[in-house]
């Protein structure tokens, strides 16, 4: 095997995994199909456990300089006829808002520092074959690259997962969303805001450089939507005015959940969305992938150090089993949380919505409930 570890996929999960392995002294190779990173950002929120992993990877400092610290989330509603605050949550430590591409840039730069040339772009893996001493990746064009370990971090539609025959349990959910980034003309500054409105939720989050991301729930997928459509719906539901001319990103999406039956087959690991795709509503997908890397990278490094003939100890299979169970359990929990968030975001007749919001308002006067909800939203419980 040419490398200690081959990572397929240079997204946030694969890059983070590779950085942690390179930091542990392993010879790593990352294969990424794209030749250029998309600036069309998906994830924007990094929860405190994700920041802990990025700190270990040596990139948290740079990201803190660029990002917006979200310390507070406010839920509002106009369902009762005038705008009322429903609840207010404190995030301590804060959530960091920074576009996914900026995080990927930082991880890529860190990898280049630790292992120059480790990232190979424009290489598409087609399938993986397990061997006694590791695994071999077959690539488009016929190249073959072997590693004592293989990490499949090739995203939700993972070709490697399919080639290895790992069963996946998934479902498509009925919720649809429209999302866009606009110049921030609100007075909400670094706050996350949820508008719980009869027509469906409108969420808004601060981004660096005076930009705000808007996400709104729709009953059916938007067909050929425009920035003007998004601005109109936001104004109808919340009264906030967005300038369509300032829109820098617009995306309509529906939601799929997929959970792999296993994350480890011998010396092959699945990580990130290849192992678990959860709804973006809740913003936990990217952090889940980093936590996979944090859980598995030390075990891979220990096994490589000990050598393929030996085992670092008799409890080794148990350690792997515990890590895999913990990661699959965390993915199930994130999926449940996201489903709850989506349910809360569906529209309701105004009277029902007002009554539900009044009940929330009363509940969230109990301080521990607010603390527990904030902890759950930010992956700290």
Triad 227, 228, 232: Cα angle to 5°: 120
Instruction: Supply the minimum distance, in Å, between the C-beta of residue 288 and ligand FAD.
Output: 7
54 φψ region: left (φ > 0), alpha (ψ -120 to 50), beta (else)? alpha
Q: What is the full DSSP assignment across 167-204?
A: -EEEEEEEEEEEEEEEE--SS-TT-EEEE--TT--EEE
Interaction pattern, residues 159-198, with ligand FAD; x per rule: CB under 6 A: x-------------------x-------------------
Q: How many CB atoms lie within 10 A of CB 216?
A: 24
Contact between 96 and ligand FAD (CB under 6 A)? no
Are 153 and 277 spatial neighbours (Cβ–Cβ below 8 Å)?
no
* Nearer to ligand FAD (CB atom), residue 289 or residue 354: 289
Asked if 216 interacts with ligand FAD (CB under 6 A), we say no
Stretch binding ligand FAD (CB under 6 A), from 152-160, 231-239, 300-308, 341-349: 152-160
- Verify binding: residue 378, ligand FAD, rule CB under 6 A: no
12 Cβ partners below 8 Å, 6+ apart?
A: 43, 100, 103, 104, 107, 272, 286, 289, 290
**Residue pair 172/161 in contact by the 8 Å Cβ criterion:** no
Task: Tell me if 286 contacts ligand FAD by CB under 6 A.
Answer: yes
Sole binder of ligand FAD in the list 1, 7, 8, 164 (CB under 6 A): 8
Among 10, 49, 180, 345, binds ligand FAD (CB under 6 A): 10
How many chain residues bind ligand FAD (CB under 6 A)?
Answer: 33
Contact with ligand FAD (CB under 6 A) among 73, 199, 283, 345: 283
- 99 touching ligand FAD, by CB under 6 A: no
Query: Which is nearer to ligand FAD, 206 or 285 (by Cβ)?
Result: 285
272 binding ligand FAD? (CB under 6 A): yes
Count Cβ atoms within 10 A of the Cβ of residue 33 and give its class: 0-12 exposed, 13-18 middle, 19 or more buried.
middle
State in angstroms the smallest separation of the CB of 251 from ligand FAD. Answer: 6
Q: What is the spatial distance between Cα 288 and Cα 49, in angstroms, rounded to a whole number?
A: 9
φ, ψ (nearest 5 deg) of residue 195: -100, 110
User: Smaller CB distance to ligand FAD: residue 134 or 180?
Assistant: 180
Does the footprint of ligand FAD cover residue 154 (CB under 6 A)? yes
The stretch among 6-14, 189-197, 293-301, 330-338 that binds ligand FAD (CB under 6 A) is 6-14
Interface with ligand FAD, residue 13, by CB under 6 A: yes
Instruction: Give the shortest CB-370-to-ligand FAD separation in angstroms.
Output: 21
Q: Is 230 in the site for ligand FAD (CB under 6 A)?
A: no
Structure tokens that stand for 95 in this block: 């959530």
Taking the complex as a whole, the smallest distance from the CB of residue 231 to ligand FAD amounts, in Å, to 18
Please select the residue that binds ligand FAD; options are 284, 341, 357, 378, rule is CB under 6 A.
284
Residue 125 is a binding residue for ligand FAD (CB under 6 A) = yes
Q: Are strands 144-152 and 3-8 parallel, antiparallel or unpaired?
A: parallel
CA angle 117, 297, 59 (to 5 degrees): 60
Strand pairing of 134-139 and 268-270?
A: unpaired
Q: Which of 218, 206, 287, 282 minimizes the C-alpha distance to 253? A: 218
- Write out the two tokens for 305: 């150090």
240 binding ligand FAD? (CB under 6 A): no
Which of 4, 20, 29, 45 touches ligand FAD (CB under 6 A)?
Answer: 45
Residue 273 Cβ, how far from ligand FAD at the closest point, in Å?
A: 4
């Amino acid at each position: 095997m040419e490398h200690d570890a081959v990572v397929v996929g240079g997204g946030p999960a694969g890059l983070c995994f590779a950085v942690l392995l390179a930091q542990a002294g392993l010879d790593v190779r990352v294969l990424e199909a794209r030749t250029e990173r998309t600036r069309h950002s998906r994830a924007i929120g990094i929860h405190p456990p994700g920041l802990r992993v990025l700190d270990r990877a040596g990139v948290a400092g740079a990201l803190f300089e660029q990002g917006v610290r979200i310390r507070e989330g406010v839920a509002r509603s106009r369902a009762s006829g005038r705008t009322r605050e429903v609840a207010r949550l404190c995030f301590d430590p804060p959530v960091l808002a920074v576009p996914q591409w900026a995080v990927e840039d930082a991880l890529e730069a860190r990898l280049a520092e630790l292992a120059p040339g480790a990232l190979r772009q424009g290489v598409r893996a087609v399938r993986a074959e397990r061997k006694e001493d590791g695994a071999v990746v077959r690539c488009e064009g016929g190249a073959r690259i072997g590693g004592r370990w293989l990490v499949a971090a090739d995203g939700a539609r993972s070709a490697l997962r399919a080639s290895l025959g790992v069963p996946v349990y998934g479902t498509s959910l009925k919720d649809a969303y429209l999302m866009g980034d606009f110049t921030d003309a609100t007075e909400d500054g670094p706050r996350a805001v949820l508008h719980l409105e009869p027509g469906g939720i409108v969420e808004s989050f601060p981004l660096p450089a005076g930009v705000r991301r808007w996400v709104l729930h729709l009953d059916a997928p938007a067909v050929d939507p425009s920035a003007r459509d998004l601005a109109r719906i936001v104004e109808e539901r919340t009264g906030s005015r967005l300038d369509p001319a300032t829109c820098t990103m617009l995306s309509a999406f529906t939601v799929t959940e997929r959970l792999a039956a296993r994350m480890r087959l011998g010396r092959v690991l699945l990580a990130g969305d290849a192992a678990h795709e959860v709804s973006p509503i809740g913003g936990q997908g990217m952090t889940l992938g980093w936590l996979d890397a944090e859980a598995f990278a030390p075990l891979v490094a220990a096994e490589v150090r000990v050598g393929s003939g030996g085992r670092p100890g008799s409890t080794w299979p148990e350690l792997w089993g515990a890590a895999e169970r913990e990661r699959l359990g965390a993915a199930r929990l994130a999926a449940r949380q996201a489903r709850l968030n989506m349910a809360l975001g569906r529209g309701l007749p105004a009277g029902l919505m007002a009554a539900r919001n009044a009940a929330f308002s009363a509940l969230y006067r109990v301080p521990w409930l607010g603390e527990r909800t904030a902890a759950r939203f930010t992956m700290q419980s």
